[in-house]
C-alpha cells in the first residue's frame, strides 16, 4: 500500500511540475519560482502535505544539484578552471567580505552573539550553485563572456564552504581548535586530491568512462559523478564541488556526448530539487521573521549584484554582461539552508532556521525573475543614453 501511495504521490508531483513548466513557458517566466511555491504548498504545514515521497524526493533533490554542477563542469577544462580561479582571487575576496557582512551585522545588531553572526554571515554569503546553474541554462547564458566569471565565483564559494562548514561544525559542537583543524585539513586535502586528479589524469578518467554504448556510458558517467560527490560530502566537502570537478575532468567529444545523455535527467532532478526546497519549509514559521528576511534579501540582492557587476567590469565585460553576472549571483539555496540547519540542530538561536528559510525562499523566487528582466532593462537604458547623447 505504501508503495502504491509513493507512486501516486510522485506521479502527481511530476505531472504537476510539467503543468507548472507549461504555465511558465506560456507566460515566458522561469519555472523555478513556481516549483518552489508548489513545494511550499505541499510540504509540512502546507495545504496537502506529502508523506510517502518525502525521503525519495530528498534523495532526488541531492542528485539534482549534483547533475546541475556536473553539467556546468563539462563546459570547461581543468586548465581553464585553474586559470580563472587565479585571476578571480580578488573578486572572490570581495564576494566574501561584501556578502557575509549583512548577516554578521544583523546578528550583532540584534545581540544574537558571535556564533549566530558566524552562521548568518555564511547564510548571506553563498550563492545557490543549483539555482544559478539553472538560470544560466534556462536563459541560454552558458556561452556568454561573463559566464566563466560567474562560475569562478560559484566554485570559489563552494570551495570556501568546504573550509567553512568544518569550522562551523566544530564551533557549534564546541570541539575546540584541534577538532576544527583536523576537519579543515581533511576538507582541504579532499579538494586538492580531486582537483589534482582532474588536472593530471583527465585523459585516464575519460578512457575509463568512455564506451561505444550510450547505455554503458550513461551508467559509468552517472555512477562516477554520484560516487565522487558522495565521497566528497562524507569528507565534509560539498558534493557539488566533487560533481563539478568530475565534469571538469571530462572534455572533448566525450563531454558533449555525456551532456546530451544527462540533460534530461538533470532537468528532471533539478525540478525535484526546487520542489524539495519548498517542501522543507514550514509556512507557519515564516511570518514572524519575514520583516528581517526582507531586509536581508534587499541587502543580499544589492551586494551580490554589485559583486557580479564589479568582477565582470574588472574582466573587461560590457554593461549588459555585468548586469547578467550580478543577477546570476543573487539566488541563495541549498548551502544556506544546510548552514542554518546545523545551527538549529546544535541549539543555536531559534530564529536562525526560519529566518534563513524565509531569506532563501524570497531570493530563490526573485532571482530568476530578476535575471530575466535585467538584460532588456540595461539595453533599454543604454539605447536611451545613446539617443540622448546623439540629440545633444
- Please give the share of the chain, as a percent, with pLDDT higher than 70: 81
Q: DSSP string spanning 18-71? A: HHHHHHHHHTT--SHHHHHHHHHHHSTTSSS---TTHHHHHHHHHHHHHHHHHH
CATH placement of domain 58-374: 1.20.1530.20
18 contacts: CB under 8 Å, gap ≥ 6:
none
Task: Using the structure block, give the residue that is written with the C-alpha cell 524565509.
Answer: 358
Confidence at residue 176, expressed as pLDDT on a 0 to 100 scale: 57
Q: Answer whether 18's CB lies under 8 Å from 267's CB.
A: no
pLDDT higher at 387 or 107: 107
Confidence at residue 385, expressed as pLDDT on a 0 to 100 scale: 59
- Count of C-beta atoms within a 10 Å radius of residue 127: 28
Distance CA 141, CA 169 (A): 36
Does the structure show a pLDDT above 60 at 390? no
List % helix, strand, coil for the chain (3-state, nearest 5): 80, 0, 20
Residue 202's φ and ψ, nearest 5 degrees, are -60, -40
pLDDT higher at 6 or 18: 18
- Count of C-beta atoms within a 10 Å radius of residue 390: 7
Mean pLDDT value across residues 275-279: 73
N-terminal to C-terminal alpha carbon distance within the chain:
76
pLDDT higher at 181 or 160: 160
* Average pLDDT taken over every residue of the chain: 80
Q: Answer whether 61's CB lies under 8 Å from 269's CB.
A: yes
Sign of CA dihedral 348, 353, 356, 360: positive
Mean pLDDT value across residues 101-128: 91
| Model confidence band, residue 238 (pLDDT cutoffs 50, 70, 90) | low
Confidence at residue 46, expressed as pLDDT on a 0 to 100 scale: 57
- The grid cell for 54 is 518525502
Confidence at residue 13, expressed as pLDDT on a 0 to 100 scale: 80
**Over the stretch 77-93, which tens digit does the pLDDT of each residue have?**
767 667 766 777 888 89
**H/E run at residue 334:** helix 334-345
Q: Answer whether 98's CB lies under 8 Å from 303's CB.
A: yes
- Count of C-beta atoms within a 10 Å radius of residue 98: 17
- Count of C-beta atoms within a 10 Å radius of residue 257: 18
Mean pLDDT value across residues 135-154: 84
Mean pLDDT value across residues 201-214: 84
Residue 209's φ and ψ, nearest 5 degrees, are -90, -20
Confidence at residue 303, expressed as pLDDT on a 0 to 100 scale: 95
Confidence at residue 388, expressed as pLDDT on a 0 to 100 scale: 61
Residue spans per domain, the chain: 58-374
**Over the stretch 282-339, which tens digit does the pLDDT of each residue have?**
777 788 888 999 999 999 999 999 999 999 999 889 888 999 999 999 988 767 776 7
- The grid cell for 322 is 555585468
Helix (H, G, I), strand (E, B) or coil at 317: coil
**Over the stretch 345-381, which tens digit does the pLDDT of each residue have?**
677 777 887 888 788 888 878 888 888 888 788 777 7
- The grid cell for 82 is 585553474
Q: DSSP string spanning 138-200? A: HTT-TTSTTHHHHHHHHHHHHHHHHHHHHHHHHHHHT-HHHHHHHHHHHHHHHHHHHHHHHHH
207 contacts: CB under 8 Å, gap ≥ 6:
none
Confidence at residue 1, expressed as pLDDT on a 0 to 100 scale: 44
Amino acid at each position: 500500500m505504501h508503495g502504491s501511495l509513493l507512486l501516486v504521490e510522485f506521479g502527481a508531483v511530476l505531472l504537476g511540475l510539467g503543468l507548472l513548466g507549461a504555465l511558465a513557458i506560456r507566460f515566458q517566466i522561469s519555472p523555478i519560482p513556481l516549483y518552489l511555491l508548489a513545494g511550499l504548498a505541499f510540504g509540512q504545514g502546507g495545504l496537502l502535505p506529502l508523506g510517502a515521497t518525502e525521503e525519495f524526493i530528498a534523495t532526488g533533490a541531492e542528485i539534482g544539484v549534483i547533475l546541475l554542477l556536473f553539467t556546468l563542469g563539462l563546459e570547461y577544462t581543468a586548465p581553464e578552471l585553474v586559470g580563472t580561479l587565479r585571476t578571480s582571487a580578488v573578486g572572490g575576496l570581495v564576494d566574501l567580505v561584501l556578502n557575509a557582512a549583512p548577516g554578521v551585522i544583523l546578528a550583532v545588531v540584534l545581540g544574537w552573539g558571535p556564533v549566530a553572526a558566524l552562521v548568518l554571515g555564511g547564510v548571506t554569503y553563498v550563492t545557490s550553485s543549483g539555482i544559478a546553474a539553472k538560470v544560466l541554462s534556462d536563459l541560454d547564458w552558458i556561452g556568454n563572456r561573463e559566464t566563466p566569471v560567474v562560475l569562478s565565483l560559484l566554485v570559489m564559494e563552494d570551495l570556501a564552504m568546504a573550509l567553512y562548514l568544518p569550522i562551523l561544525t566544530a564551533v557549534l559542537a564546541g570541539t575546540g581548535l584541534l577538532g576544527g583543524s583536523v576537519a579543515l585539513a581533511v576538507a582541504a586535502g579532499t579538494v586538492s586530491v580531486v582537483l589534482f586528479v582532474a588536472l593530471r589524469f583527465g585523459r585516464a578518467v575519460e578512457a575509463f568512462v568512455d564506451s561505444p554504448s550510450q547505455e554503458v556510458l550513461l551508467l559509468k558517467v552517472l555512477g562516477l559523478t554520484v560516487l565522487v560527490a558522495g565521497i566528497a560530502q562524507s569528507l565534509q566537502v560539498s558534493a557539488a564541488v566533487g560533481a563539478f570537478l568530475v565534469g571538469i575532468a571530462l572534455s572533448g567529444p566525450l563531454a558533449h556526448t555525456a551532456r546530451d545523455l544527462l540533460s534530461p535527467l538533470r532537468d528532471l532532478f533539478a525540478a525535484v530539487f526546487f520542489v524539495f526546497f519548498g517542501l522543507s519549509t514550514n509556512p507557519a514559521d515564516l511570518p514572524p521573521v519575514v520583516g528581517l528576511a526582507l531586509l536581508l534579501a534587499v541587502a543580499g540582492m544589492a551586494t551580490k549584484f554589485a559583486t557580479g557587476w564589479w568582477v565582470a567590469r574588472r574582466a573587461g565585460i560590457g554593461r549588459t554582461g555585468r548586469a547578467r553576472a550580478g543577477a546570476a549571483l543573487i539566488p541563495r539555496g541549498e548551502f544556506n539552508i544546510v548552514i542554518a540547519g546545523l545551527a538549529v540542530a546544535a541549539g543555536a538561536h531559534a530564529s536562525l532556521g526560519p529566518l534563513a528559510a524565509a531569506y532563501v525562499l524570497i531570493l530563490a523566487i526573485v532571482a530568476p525573475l530578476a535575471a530575466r528582466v535585467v538584460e532588456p532593462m540595461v539595453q533599454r537604458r543604454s539605447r536611451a543614453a545613446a539617443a540622448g547623447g546623439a540629440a545633444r
